[in-house]
Structure 1
Amino acid sequence: MASVKTRPDVQYLYAARALRGFGDGFAIIILPVYLLAIGLTPQQVGIVASVSLFGTAALTLIVGFVAPHFDLRNLFLAGAILTVVTGLSFPVVDTVAPILLVAFVGTINPSAGDLGMLIPLEHALLTQETEDRDRTRVFARYSLIGALTAAAGSLAAAVPELLASRGMPELGALRLMFYGYAVLGLLAALLYGRLPRDQMHAADRPKSSLGPSRMIVYKLAALFSLDSFAGGFVVQSLLALWLFQQFDLSLAAASVFFFCSSVLSAFSFPVAAWLAKRIGLVNTMVFTHIPPSICLIAVAFSSNLTLVLALLLVRSALSQMDVPTRSSYVMAVVTPPERTAAASVTAVPRSLASSVSPAIAGFMLAGPFSGLPLVVCGCLKIAYDLALLGMFRHTKPPEEK
């Protein structure tokens, strides 16, 4: 088998991930601005975001379960075409009903997480095209590319403001960005079109999307949902609010801090792959996850801003190391025909669980101990880590047997 460094199929997926990451990076920022500009109320914008999240979740699940019965290349192309349609549709709809329809079936995901119809397809094909010993390294690169291009895309969200300052109407500048989003989808389609067709005959395709690994997938989905529910107590916006309230942190200082935090998280992915080769995937997921939870709990009781920011940066450098290792582990412990369904089933409940806890955290922030969400998050994440270690420490991926 060719090296992962030169294998064309993997390179095409990396490039497509970069295009999608860049597009998602600016689309999720400009979408609410555009909706307000065409006359929607903040409440209606919130409804659009919720509809978009649930639509994305539903489509991700559906694709994950039907993918084993279809040629992956055709599904990739369908996803890219849907991206093009989404980018072309938003600029021409200006009433609530069609906007909700586009939001539900479209590809703009307000959570900016690893959710979307193309995610399980890419996970399955990356695993199929990679040897076991290289799988985690490939997922680390995939995650790193997604994180860095999304960050670049978020910077591109300032383009409409720049164009407006040079005389272009704001609405026209925002619509232009959606057309750019459609172009990125078209470029992704060209990349996906270069992937090989699946040579499997219809008679050889599995009858069930989840078979012998069903219980493993359901257990992992439940554990990952607990982890995401915990993480929802300290989403970035709420953490920023806590820092503003507790330490009167300036907006400029906060932007620098969160940029550094994002960079540390992104570059921890390759480190996670290196560590997983030495201590194993589950151990990497668990033992890099517990220290940042302890840091978060310590932050809740600290009154020194310098110490708080230092602890939070340590947390950022460690807390996301389970992202590529988690994806790699899920793909490793299920059979090849189950990979797309496993990726969907473990991602969708996780995303939905993380949407519940921020509302609870908002009430906690207003209570007598504003650091309570940080403590709850840290404790729940430690509970998740211990449960994961207890339930899966003996379930080894092929490269560790």
Structure 2
Amino acid sequence: MATKFLVKALEELGLVSLWSSTLDVKLLCAQRFVRLFAYGGSTLILVAYLSELGISKEMIGLFMTLTLIGDTVISLVLTLFADGLGRKAILALGAALMAMSGVVFALSTNQWVLLVAAIVGVISPNGNEIGPFRAVEESTLAHLTPTANRGDIYAWYSLIGTAGTAVGMVTSGWAIQYMRSNLKWDVLRSYRMVFWGYAIFGIIKFILSITLSKNIEAEKKPAPTEDTETAPLLGDGSEEAETKKSYFRSLIPDISAESRIIVVNICILFMLDAFGSSLAPQSWVTYFFHDKFGLGEGKLGSLFFVTSIISAISMLLASSIAKRLGNVQTMVFTHLPSAILLALIPIPSSLPVAMLFLILRACTQSMEVAPRSAFLAAVVLPNERTAVMGVINVAKTSAQSFGPLITGVLAQHGLFWVAFVTAGTLKAIYDIGFLAIFVGHKTYDDRAEEERLAEEEESLREGEDPDER
């Protein structure tokens, strides 16, 4: 009895699905932990580091905006060609550039050099994914995972990433505290050590990337065959140009007309949510608590460690809820409370109340992540996933681009609270809109399952004895 209960509990938590997954799935999850660890450590101090270099809040906001715009272009190019050029190669290239950017941030003080490094090497202004990694990895996970287990795998993939952010933040915060208090290093030297760590984790991610097997690659589309009876005996001289055109065109997957309509709707909604998030990114939120309440790096790291761990644990509940309510309902009903709490964070004048709103928000903030990934994987065709997820991520990153600049201007003029209230309002509108459009939508996987059941029922009827009908 106890064994059955334990197995059932492990199945609900998704651990059975994760344990039975392939080595490539586990390596992709490990990569995400390493990457988000680095993002978390750098995000905690990014605004403070740029401020120490003598850059104004308005310029810091512009820096983040230009970073997001540059990352949008790079992400679009890499995700569109990822399946054609090779997913493993794209992930390895991104890891190498990530290591390079960490070195540049540790050595340079020129804001334009730092901007180029942030764009090319994907320094995250908000501690979340802004480069091509997530789109490629989520598409690969869908490719490697049975439909029934995808919700569980995405939940653990997201949880592991959030845990990486949490551990990165607390490690960075207390490491800086130790370097300043015990080693008597100045602020800039302490901050630069964090970026040396960022470079090291980029190298670790590179090693994990090249360890992946060829099973992660997308299935090659069969080359079109030509009818030899109707083909001309002599060419018309355009074969070479046609070959060049077809080669580059073959690297980009075709997206069906039905999927295009769905993608447009999703992009519009996700851009609204992303713009709201960009008004209160993690780097500005940490700076808000540092500036308004005077929290040091160690305490800041501990606070955001707690909120990130709570967010990570909540993802397991989301997977279980989605199995009963469905992905769309789970996304909306868990995300809406977090949007409201985000708008409330700047209102209290006391630290405990502001921290309470932040922690309560963390309880549901990330519960939509796994159901959203599962919904996206199921709503488009398998050969479209990498490109579609890449386009959606690019749309989100584009929408995020101007948020940090607006927040920087508001912060410079003492109106930091406006950014939080506006962000929460926009995210609430996104939730209501997503529910209204997709509440009854049937995915490709849903229709495929209905067709399979209908065929089984039809075959059973055909196999019945005519005299028994």
Q: TM-score, normalised by structure 2?
A: 0.71
- Which whole-Å CA distance do the structure 1 matches of 2:290 and 2:344 have between them? 18
2: distance between equivalents of 1:116 and 1:390? 30
Q: Does 1:187 align with 2:204?
A: yes
Matched residue of 1:387: which SS? helix
Residue aligning to 2:6: none
Judge conservation of contact 1:48–1:103 (CA < 8 Å) in 2. Answer: no
Distance 1:297 1:81, change over 3 A: closer
In structure 2, the residue matched to 1:163 is 179
Q: Matched residues in 1 for 2:171 and 2:388: separation?
A: 33
Instruction: Work out the CA distance in 1 between the residues paired with 2:36 and 2:133.
Output: 12
Contact 2:122/2:131 (8 A) holds in 1? yes
Asked if 1 retains the 8 angstrom alpha-carbon contact of 2:65 and 2:404, the reply is: no
The answer for the alignment partner of 2:325 in structure 1 is: 279
Amino acid at match of 2:213: P
Contact 2:60 2:405 in 1 (8 A): no
2:195 to 154, 160, 178: 178
Matches within 5 A, 1:215-230: 215-230=261-276
Q: Does the 8 A contact of 1:132 with 1:398 survive in 2?
A: no
Structure 2, unmatched stretches of 5+, are 1-15, 224-248, 450-469
Aligned residue type for 1:178: F
Corresponding residue for residue 18 of structure 1: 33
Task: After TM superposition, give the deviation of residue 31 of structure 1 in Å.
Answer: 4.8
| 1:396 and 2:442 correspond | yes
Would you say 1:111 and 2:126 are equivalent positions?
yes
Match of 1:335 in 2: 381
Which residue of the partner structure matches residue 152 of structure 1? 167
Which residue number in structure 2 is paired with residue 128 of structure 1?
143
- SS of equivalent to 1:116: coil
User: What's the CA shift for 1:65?
Assistant: 1.0
Q: Distance in 1 between the 2:410 and 2:185 partners? A: 44
Compare 205-214 and 334-343 and name the one that shifted more. 205-214
* 1:41 partnered with 2:85: no
| Structure with larger Rg | 2
- Cα 1:380–1:83 change in 2 (3 A) is closer
* Cα distance in 2, alignment partners of residues 224 and 57 from structure 1: 15
Could you tell me the percent identity over the aligned residues? 30
Please give the alpha-carbon distance, in whole angstroms, between the structure 2 residues aligned to 1:68 and 1:12: 19
Post-superposition Cα deviations, 1:20-77, rounded to whole Å, max 9, x if no partner, equal 111111223445555566x553365554433322222221111111112121111111
Taking a change above 3 Å as real, the CA distance of residues 137 and 399 of structure 1, as seen in their structure-2 partners, is: farther
Residue pair 1:227, 1:381 contacting (<8 A) in 2 also: yes
Classify 1:126/1:294 alpha carbon distance in 2 versus 1 (closer, same or farther; 3 Å).
same
For residue 124 of structure 2, give the secondary structure of its aligned residue in structure 1. coil
Change (3 A) 1:371 1:207: closer
Aligned counterpart, 2:86: 71
Structure-2 residue corresponding to 1:209: 253
Sort the Cα spacing of 1:51 and 1:333 in 2 relative to 1 into closer, same or farther, 3 A. Answer: same
**Aligned pairs, how many?**
397
Report which stretch shifted further, 232-241 or 118-127.
Answer: 232-241
Q: Could you say what secondary structure the match of 1:4 adopts?
A: helix
Any idea what SS the aligned residue of 1:193 has?
helix
- Please give the alpha-carbon distance, in whole angstroms, between the structure 1 residues aligned to 2:286 and 2:264: 34
1:373 and 1:45 map into 2 onto residues whose CA distance is: 15
